[in-house]
Amino acid sequence: MTEIGAERPYLAPVPEQEWGPDEYAAVGELFGIPGEDVPRAGSGHAADPSKFDILGVLARHPAMARDFLRYNGFLLQRGELPLRLRELAILRLAYTRRSVFFWGEHVRIAIAGGLSEDDIGRLAEGNAEFDGVDRLVLEATDEILADGRASVSTWTRLVAELGTHQAMEVIFVVGTYAMLAAACDTWGLVPPPGSAILPDEERQNP
């Protein structure tokens, strides 16, 4: 898969024939399984790592990918923050940072996890149509992206509403995916054909 308007991404995924024990071990950390149990690249399996450009690119640096994917696997699969809140934060980040790749990838994940298309569409319109903890997490995300941190009052509300563990995960999800969006957009990754299109920027309601 290539960057829009370019012949190839700036950093291409590892080709199927070049996957070896180190690359499989790195991806295994994301799935929580040994490297030898990761489906082989090119197998066509649903979890074939060569089907996911982000895994193929991260596998260019297997030692770094192994540690990072273990941590990212925690946020995605073993953390306490509900999927709905995590994906609202990631999609707001993708919209704000204009990340075509992460918008396309995480709309798919969000819908599979139960978010409605209406929920996702409203993310481009600001926070006025959200309430409760949804709105709180979106406000925290906006603050982190704009100021590099959540305000004391927002942090206090996060802890009161979600507890310390989930509140901490909100901060780490936003920070982690801001970093990933910067990396993948630098490398020129785009989501698979047929993925959701990043909405145009609109005037957001507070």
Average pLDDT of the chain is 92
* 3-state helix vs strand vs coil in the chain, percent to 5: 65, 0, 35
Residue 5 pLDDT > 90: no
In contact, 118 and 111? CB cutoff 8 Å: no
Q: How confident is the model over 56-96, as pLDDT tens digits?
A: 999 999 999 999 999 999 999 999 999 999 999 999 999 99
| Mean pLDDT, residues 31-51 | 94
Residue 199 pLDDT > 50: yes
The full set of domain ranges for the chain reads 16-77, 81-187
Check residue 6 and give its pLDDT: 46
Element (H, E) at 68: helix 62-73
Q: Which residue has the higher pLDDT, 162 or 7?
A: 162
Check residue 206 and give its pLDDT: 53
Residue 190 pLDDT > 90: no
Residue 4 pLDDT > 50: no
Task: Name which CATH class applies to 81-187.
Answer: mainly alpha
Q: How confident is the model over 173-189, as pLDDT tens digits?
A: 999 999 999 999 999 99
Q: How confident is the model at residue 118 (pLDDT cuts 50, 70, 90)?
A: very high
* Residue 60 backbone zone (phi > 0: left; psi -120 to 50: alpha; other: beta): alpha
Check residue 180 and give its pLDDT: 95
Q: How confident is the model at residue 3 (pLDDT cuts 50, 70, 90)?
A: very low
Helix (H, G, I), strand (E, B) or coil at 24: helix
Q: How confident is the model over 131-168, as pLDDT tens digits?
A: 999 999 999 999 999 999 999 999 999 999 999 999 99
